[in-house]
Amino acid sequence: MIGIIGAMSIETEAIIRELQKAEECTVSGVRFVKGNWSGTEVVVATSGVGKVFAALCAEAMILKYQPECIINSGVAGALDPALHLLNVVIGEDVVQHDMDTSPLGDPRGLLSGIDQVSLPADQRLNAAFEKAAAGLEIPALRGRVASGDQFIASDEKRNDVRNTFGAACCEMEGAAIGHVCYVNEVPFAVLRAISDGAAGDAKMDYPAFAAKAAEQSIKILKKAMEELR
């Protein structure tokens, strides 16, 4: 069974609507719906926004369903200037840009205990996303996903995360899901479509493009399921 997590209902409901033989269960306040999607057994959850909700959702999913892997699908702000609205980022690895013990001499983003800044995503899942995006003629870029408990909407913050971590996009959950998966030895991947440029105009672009971007990510995910089943 493949686990799929989106933070918001615009990132999951279109999948949940298409599930065959759907069965629901609520754990720790998170609704999990399992069923068959395009010939693949999946469990889908809407975690809520931010790293804590994402982490508790991933942990509950692993304990209850033992998924073979977890995919985080949704929207993101662009950091790489090559990205345009509705383009897609296939996460090569994930970092937590707001994890910061640098006053103690550590590099920014260092995950204490794990002793790494970035955690790698699963290459088989990423290859399936890349093939699906190419088939759908949706521009997709492989790159680093930076997560933090902040909606980024200024040049200053955007440039800081881009320059410090070399990330392609920013969002608020992927690296928390990656962290939980890493600890539990569950392969993970992050697929994100661009809803805004994470700068001053993000306040306007995000409400205008988030739903369309979420759909774009789901479209690729659905096609990738053909490779993964």
Residues that bind ligand ADE (CB under 6 A): 75-77, 151-153, 170-172, 195-196, 198, 202, 206
Check 11, 59, 122, 171 and give the catalytic one: 11
196 is catalytic: yes
Cα atoms in the Cβ-side hemisphere of radius 13 Å centred on 6: 26
- Positions of E strands within 47-152: 69-78, 88-96, 118-120, 140-147
Q: Of the two residues 71 and 198, which places its CB atom closer to ligand ADE in the complex?
A: 198
Check 93, 171, 196, 205 and give the catalytic one: 196
Minimum Å gap between C-beta 158 and ligand ADE is: 8
Is the distance from CB of 126 to CB of 137 less than 8 angstroms?
A: no
Look up tokens 């707001």; give the residue. 98
> Coil, helix or strand for 48?
coil
β partners of residue 43: 3, 34
149 is catalytic: no
Minimum Å gap between C-beta 160 and ligand ADE is: 13
Q: Of the two residues 67 and 91, which places its CB atom closer to ligand ADE in the complex?
A: 91
Minimum Å gap between C-beta 194 and ligand ADE is: 8
Closest residue to ligand ADE using C-beta atoms: 77
Q: Of the two residues 33 and 89, which places its CB atom closer to ligand ADE in the complex?
A: 89
CA–chain centroid gap for 108, Å, is 21
Rounded to an integer, what distance in angstroms lies between the CA atom of residue 229 and that of residue 227? 6
Alpha-carbon distances, residue 147 vs 28, 51, 123 (angstroms): 23, 8, 20
Minimum Å gap between C-beta 29 and ligand ADE is: 22
Q: Which residues are catalytically annotated?
A: 11, 196
